[in-house]
Amino acid sequence: MTDKTSSPTPATDFIRNIIREDLASGKHQRIVTRFPPEPNGHLHIGHAKSIQLNFGIANEFDGNCFMRFDDTNPLKEDEEYVEGILQDVHWMGYEWGEYLSYASDYFEELYEFAEELIKKGKAYVESLNAEEIRELRGTLTEPGKNSPFRDRSIEENLKLFREMRAGKFSDGAHVLRAKIDMAAANINLRDPVLYRIRKVPHQRTADQWCIYPLYDFTHGLSDAMEGVTHSLCTLEFEDHRPLYDWILAEVSAPCLPRQIEFSPLNLRYTVLSKRRLIQLVEEGHVNGWDDPRMLTLSGIRRRGYPASAVRLFCERIGISKSENNIDMSVLEDCAREELDKIAPRAMAVLRPLKVVITNYPEDKTEEFEPARHPKNPAMGSRKVPFSREIYIDHDDFREDPPPNYFRLAPGKEVRLRFAYVIRCDEVIYDTEGKVNELRCTYDQATRSGAKAEGRKVKGIIHWVSTKHCVPVEVRLYDRLFAKPLPGSDDPEGNFLKDLNLNSVETINSCQVEPGLEEAQPAEVFQFERVGYFCVDSKESRPDTLVFNRTVTLRDTWAKLEQEQTRQS
């Protein structure tokens, strides 16, 4: 890991306890883990939990973690996903060094293991089609039935399997099945399919192979060939563990890894099913895998989340076997906590309202030098020019303010951050009767830092000088879904009905303080009183910077959720 942020005390969970016991007993001298994604999509926040667990354990116990791609289905896999996954893992702060591998590296060895099963009478070539196999498989309450091809001789099975490899048969003509128990209570042990014919080029092996092993066959054997000691999977693979162990026991595996399951990440206000993520992308509900509203790691990164926030989130939710449903606010709070440490401050006016300070000299400009970060003096200061005409945010002015309103209103005073106290004397309207401009006066004795006797102004607002400010485009991103459990209220589970129609708002007329025009892609800032923002790494242009809102300064959803709970 290139950027460690480990806790002062060692992490403790049931998996680490098992590992500590295995090391203490001498069962293992060195720990080996693996992170084995299939390159058929980009990684999401749920994968971050597995990345941190597998690579983190290898780091903690001075072991190794294989970055292994499960590339056994060329119909769905692509080199684009391979590159994206490597970038995501690297961004998370982990390195694999020489331990980069692919299931396709082991195709020849896997084939030999399959022949070994056939020679032992533990596998056979099936000639039923997929539907017929499904019909004979049985149900959770009824046992399956033996295939009419289950008792083929070893010689016939070897001949057919070798002909499958040679490309003699078309897709679907045969598969290779394990011979276990069609009456097993665990359906995964009812003669599962191990190999299938796929006459399509593979992204790494081209046309070298036309039969490909399935994940259940590949997973454990790849673990064994890499010397994996602890194969860490989510709970969905718990029912597959007996098959994992069966395969390793029936062949001459070089070692016997232990599969251990932990609960997957369930996060409210999003979907983490790869099938659903693909649907969002392919149907155009989002603008690609890296859309900042997506909880993919590329989307999170583009939105401005630092990797440290994702690691902190994974650390806080922990590892257990219990099902969980984590609130989105936990992730957002981690972002706020990490961004507060690193984000320099700046002033930005999202919806500009012009203010003319009538008693300020027309040709005068002065500079204030606030800190770039109030908690980190090492960041230094920045120069913010002030002049007769400024912009404030429309939201900081009310013609008819409610009680306890401390921002600007007719006849009321407010402090301009780092500058002076001003009073609103006159409101100018446009032809449609909307507020177009404010005429104010300032008190020279209230310059920031000076002691103005008897002046108590509660309201402080931000601003930018109209002569010096920089126009930018701002995108206010919010949660992609309006309901905590998308699709849960729909009889058909249609999660798309719960899309948040206000998940992004684009504002083209924003103005920011000078100096930000030199901001680089992915650079983050706290726009004071507004939120955390980053320069969009994909769509910013030389003539117009695009800032993405990473997260608000406070949890704006908490009050909404309380109201929804009260109404229900």
Give the tens place of pLDDT for each residue, 107-166. 999 999 999 999 999 999 999 999 999 999 999 999 999 999 999 999 999 999 999 999
Residues 212, 217: Cα–Cα separation, whole Å: 10
Indicate whether 28 pLDDT > 70: yes
The domain made up of 265-345+470-568 is a member of CATH 1.10.3210.10: no
Give the number of C-alpha atoms closer than 13 A to the C-alpha of residue 170, restricted to the C-beta side: 1
Give the chain's mean pLDDT: 94
Domain boundaries, the chain: 107-216, 265-345+470-568, 348-462
Indicate whether 6 pLDDT > 70: no
Q: What is the pLDDT of residue 420?
A: 96
Residues 523, 533: Cα–Cα separation, whole Å: 8
Two tokens, residue 455: 């002046």
User: Would the CATH topology of 265-345+470-568 be identical to that of 348-462?
Assistant: yes
Q: How confident is the model at residue 456 (pLDDT cuts 50, 70, 90)?
A: confident
Indicate whether 287 pLDDT > 90: yes
Is residue 339 classed as helix, strand or coil in its secondary structure? helix
Angle at 389 between CA 388 and CA 395, to 5 degrees: 135
Residue range 439-454: average pLDDT? 83
Class of domain 348-462: mainly beta
Q: What is the pLDDT of residue 449?
A: 78
Give the number of C-alpha atoms closer than 13 A to the C-alpha of residue 292, restricted to the C-beta side: 27
What type of residue sits at position 45? I
Residue range 195-212: average pLDDT? 97
Q: What is the pLDDT of residue 566?
A: 53
Indicate whether 508 pLDDT > 70: yes
Two tokens, residue 394: 């429309």
Residue range 382-386: average pLDDT? 97
Q: What is the pLDDT of residue 451?
A: 66
Indicate whether 557 pLDDT > 90: no
Class of domain 107-216: alpha beta
Closest to 544 in 3D by CA, of 564, 567, 516:
516
Two tokens, residue 539: 């769509």
Indicate whether 40 pLDDT > 70: yes
Residue range 487-514: average pLDDT? 95
Q: How confident is the model at residue 1 (pLDDT cuts 50, 70, 90)?
A: very low
DSSP 422-468: EEEEEEEE-TTS-EEEEEEEEEGGG-TTS--TT-----EE--EETTT
Indicate whether 504 pLDDT > 60: yes
Two tokens, residue 88: 């995501």
Indicate whether 395 pLDDT > 50: yes
Residue range 201-216: average pLDDT? 97
- What number of other Cβ atoms are within 10 A of residue 358's Cβ? 13
Quick one: how far is CA 43 from the chain centroid?
7
Residue range 458-486: average pLDDT? 96
Angle at 490 between CA 489 and CA 495, to 5 degrees: 95
Give the tens place of pLDDT for each residue, 52-108. 999 999 999 999 999 999 999 999 999 999 999 999 999 999 999 999 999 999 999
Indicate whether 245 pLDDT > 80: yes
Q: How confident is the model at residue 3 (pLDDT cuts 50, 70, 90)?
A: very low
Tokens 């449903």 — which residue?
Answer: 325
Residues 521, 534: Cα–Cα separation, whole Å: 8
Closest to 448 in 3D by CA, of 418, 477, 409:
418
Inter-residue contact 203 to 38 (CB < 8 Å): no
Inter-residue contact 252 to 10 (CB < 8 Å): no
Give the tens place of pLDDT for each residue, 516-536. 999 999 999 999 999 999 999
Residues 63, 61: Cα–Cα separation, whole Å: 5
Percent residues over pLDDT 90 in the chain: 91
Q: What is the pLDDT of residue 561?
A: 57
Task: Decide the pairing of beta strands 531-535 and 546-552.
Answer: antiparallel
3-state secondary structure labels for all residues of 269-317: CCCCCHHHHHHHHHCCCCCCCCCCCCCEHHHHHHHCCCHHHHHHHHHHH
Residue range 160-177: average pLDDT? 98
